[in-house]
Amino acid sequence: MSEPFIQCENLVKIFQVAGLEMVALQGLNLTIEKGELVGIIGASGSGKSTLMNILGGLDRPTAGKIRVDGHDLLKMPDGQLNKYRREKVGFVWQQSTRNLVPYLNAIRNVMLPMTLNGVTGKEKERRAEELLDIVGLSLRKHHHLPELSGGEQQRVAIAVALANNPTLLLADEPTGEVDSTTAKAIYRTFQTLSRDLHITTLIVSHDRTIARHVDRVVGIRDGMLASETIRQTAETNGASNGVHGESHDEEDHKYAELVVLDRAGRIHVPHEYLDQFNIKGHAQLEITAEGILIRQAAQTVTEQVQVDGDSGKMRHMGHAGAMTVQREKGKGGFLNRFRRNKDD
């Protein structure tokens, strides 16, 4: 069995900020096969951008294991890591100013990384024209950035990211500054690259509807893999167009969001589920005919017994729970007695 293209095991990243340690990734496990088109979602601060920076060779993990296309990024020397980042990884950022040189036209932007990598002559221009044709901009190759729409600029940026034939393409919110129609065109470009060039592509996003446009979506919460949304082909009257074709439309597919069970048996339960059933702190697990049931734990409640010194009467306060604490007055002071409730 071949090795996965990306394999992260117990990945940890700790930042030092003002003398304090901040844990961005805490034992993340993730496996991605070659040619997959994967979305990565999560709230701000969840660790998704940290993961992308580590996969791209922009940062190193603190501990754990990470291999990309056979390269051990944790143990790789700095020189080899720079070579890996330059030759194996393509980046597409949300802001076009970070992707493109504003005074160059489209084709010269695409040729620039090849020039920096030592490619010369007609091969450089031929490759640039080929990439612009792949992203659907062959007729706009001599246009400068002000003459291109936001979506066209982002597609030029994708061509730039592909200039040096990377095996991994990382996109950080590539549709964050465009409208929904333009976003669909950008997603179709990523689908084409995955289908035709077998480039492994990871798209970081806040948008949960990205599941309509990728093979699967992994959700990161608190620095760990929490959920995975898998797109499945629904039954239709016609034949399916395949995984990467126009059948990415929502009406042709159904989506299953699964929580991830790690090797230690831990799962992340969505906060809205916990809030709905007021589950906090502790929970009880029960085995049922259909599986494992998680429910609110019986609360530990204190029943206080107050003795009136004048009348000798006792006044009870509290309510029933999993454990009752009875406080009685004796010669040496107050004594706590513990007993189990009969209905537990």
Does 170 fall in a domain? yes
Are 75 and 191 found together in one domain?
Answer: yes
Does 282 fall in a domain? no
| pLDDT given at position 54 | 95
Are 178 and 253 found together in one domain?
Answer: yes
**Nearest-5° angle of CA 210, CA 214, CA 51?**
80
List, as one string, the DSSP characters of 140-176. Answer: GTT-BGGGS-HHHHHHHHHHHHTTT--SEEEEESTTT
| pLDDT given at position 332 | 46
Question: 83-98 in b/e burial notation, b at 16+ Cβ within 10 A?
Answer: ebeeebbbbbbbebee
Residue 57 CB neighbours (<10 A): 22
Sequence-distant (≥ 6) Cβ neighbours of residue 242 within 8 angstroms: 195
Does 283 fall in a domain? no
Does 205 fall in a domain? yes
Does 43 fall in a domain? yes
Instruction: List the chain residues with pLDDT less than 50.
Output: 236, 238-250, 301-304, 316-344
Contact 3, 71 (CB under 8 A): no
Query: What pTM does this model have?
Result: 0.77
Are 239 and 316 found together in one domain?
Answer: no
| pLDDT given at position 187 | 92
Does 203 fall in a domain? yes
| pLDDT given at position 344 | 46
> In which domain, by residue range, is 100 found?
6-266
Residue type, 239: A
Does 17 fall in a domain? yes
